[in-house]
Amino acid sequence: MIKKYNHEFRKDLVSGDWILIAPSRRSRPYDRKKRSAEKIKVAKTDLKKEVADCLFENPQKNGNPSPILWYPRPETPLKKRKDFSTWFVQVIPNKYPLFNLPFGKSCPAVQSFGPQKTLKGIGFHELIITRDHFKTIDKMSIEEAELLLKAYQMRYQALANEPCINYIIVFHNHGKSSGASINHPHSQLVAVPVVDPDISKSLAGSRQYYEQFGKCIHCEMLEWELNQKKRIVYQNEHFVTLEPFAPRVSYETRIYPLSHAAHFEEITDEKRLALAESLRDAIGRISKVLKGDYNFFIHSAPFLSQKVDNYHWHIEILPRGYSWAGMELGVGIEVVVVPPEEAADNLRKIGRK
């Protein structure tokens, strides 16, 4: 029996945004067209052709630059670990970057044109590619997923030393509706001289709470969620996976370190392995329940301050398939049709495998 939930507005304590939980909206009529040919099961011969034509199956053979960083498969014998043919994950510059201007001798300054402001489009845009075409993160071993996270971390640390860079985000697009242009598992890293609006909003909300109460708002919410247990999906020694109280989309899932930490790039080897376990588990559950596309992001504190007592880094996983309509675009209030309590219950029951 499906539990009945009342419609209600919920406030995100960090961003200040109001979210509308409206479960009965799932019952509204819509055009149930037959699946297109694209959705029909693909023949094995087509899958082989997809792999053969994939630009990331052999990045260097397909004209991509040499890797900035690479790691061999975890099971590679020690004597072969310097052989590039054993690569499992590699980081390369994006051939089609978001930025097209070179770095100068000094950092660019904001230019004013009447009421308008501009800043030269400089930054770093890198691709983090894993080896196997059909091995998504949920199908990786924990050791393989940990190598992917290690590549993220090493590039974070390297680019943090760039004088003009103030913020880095790693994101992963899975599936066409997520914005992925190539159907091969890969993530992207973008390093920029500005702090993005979403993080700026979160930083402001976190700082305001800290100044008022002297505590990290994320730590306060985690303590409350761990006591409530309604929205907890999974927990290990160092991380907790949960459905946020006021999600932006149905089945939005977040992974938080249990102990306070502002910067992802400072994670220890032990915690990185635990994070690999959590990320692999979360994506496995979401993929099994929704069987659809998703994005995930690592939200870490900017480099403007090395000590941030009010911010708590985390990973956000946003499933796709729930499109914005008039309420979201016209009013700015997201409508969520699956209450987070129901989503957490479904994800707990399904398991990863």
Q: Considering only CA atoms, which of 249, 270, 246 is closest in space to residue 259?
A: 270
DSSP 42-73: PPHHHHHHHHHH-TTTSTTTTTPPPPSEEEE-
Q: Output the pLDDT for position 307.
A: 61
Within-domain flag for 38:
no
Residue 3's pLDDT band, with cuts at 50, 70 and 90, is low
CA distances from 198 to 67, 129, 192, 194, 235 (A): 30, 26, 14, 12, 26
CA distance 96 to 315: 26
The model's pLDDT over 249-270, given as tens digits with 9 standing for 90+, comes to 899 999 999 999 999 999 999 9
**Residue 164 resides in a domain:** yes
Q: Is residue 138 within 8 Å of 280, Cβ to Cβ?
A: yes
Q: Is residue 307 part of a domain?
A: yes
Indicate the number of domains in the chain: 1
Token pair 């913020």 in the structure block, residue: 167
Kind plus residue range of the DSSP H or E element containing 340: helix 340-350
Q: What is the CATH number of the domain that holds 310?
A: 3.30.428.10
What pLDDT sits at residue 8?
Answer: 66
Please indicate, yes or no, if residue 109 is contained in any of the structural domains: no
Residue pair 86/72 in contact (Cβ under 8 Å)? The answer is yes
CA 32 to mean position of chain CA atoms? 31
Query: What do you get for the CA distance between the two ends of the chain, in Å?
Result: 24
d(CA 247, CA 15): 11
Residue 96 covered by a domain: yes
Q: Encoding tokens for residue 254? A: 């977040």
75 is a domain residue:
yes
Is residue 46 one of the residues assigned to a domain? Answer: no
Residues 289/340/200/149 CA torsion (nearest 10 deg) = -40
Separation of alpha carbons 25 and 249, rounded Å: 13
**Nearest one of 210, 219, 247, 225 to 343, comparing CA atoms:** 247
Residue 187's identity, in one-letter code, is: S
**Separation CA 114–CA 296 (nearest Å):** 38
What are the tokens at 42? 């693909």
> Which of these ranges, 64-73, 113-122, 123-132, 233-242, has the smallest mean pLDDT?
113-122
pLDDT of residue 32: 42
Residues in the chain: 353
Q: What is the pLDDT of residue 33?
A: 46
Contact 245, 340 (CB under 8 A): yes
Q: Does the global pTM surpass 0.75?
A: yes
Strands 186-192 vs 253-257: parallel, antiparallel or unpaired: unpaired
Indicate left, alpha or beta for 103 from its phi (over 0: left) and psi (-120 to 50: alpha).
Answer: beta
Six-digit token pair at 331? 């009013």
Structure tokens at 158: 């390297």
Which range among 2-6, 102-106, 131-135, 252-256 shows the weakest confidence by mean pLDDT? 2-6
Beta carbons of 317 and 283 less than 8 angstroms apart: yes
Strands 18-21, 334-336: pairing is parallel
pLDDT digits (tens, 9 = 90+) for 296-323: 999 998 876 556 778 999 999 999 876 6
Is residue 183 in a domain?
yes
Averaged pLDDT, 49-65: 85
**What would the pLDDT profile of 80-93 be if each residue is shown by its tens digit?**
999 999 999 999 99
What is the rounded CA–CA span in Å between residue 312 and residue 239? 12
Question: What is the predicted pLDDT for the residue at 194?
Answer: 83
**What range does the domain containing 336 cover?**
8-26+52-102+117-350
How many CB atoms are closer than 10 A to CB 102?
A: 7
* CB-facing half-sphere around the CA of 272: CA atoms within 13 A: 19
**What SS3 class is residue 107?**
coil
Please state which of the ranges 30-44, 124-138, 159-173 shows the lowest mean pLDDT. Answer: 30-44
Partners of 69 in the β-ladder: 91
* Cα pseudo-dihedral 275, 278, 283, 288, rounded to 10: 160
Alpha-carbon distance 183 to 46, whole Å?
13
Using the predicted structure, report yes or no on whether residue 196 has a pLDDT greater than 80: no
CA–CA separation, 98 vs 193, rounded Å? Answer: 13
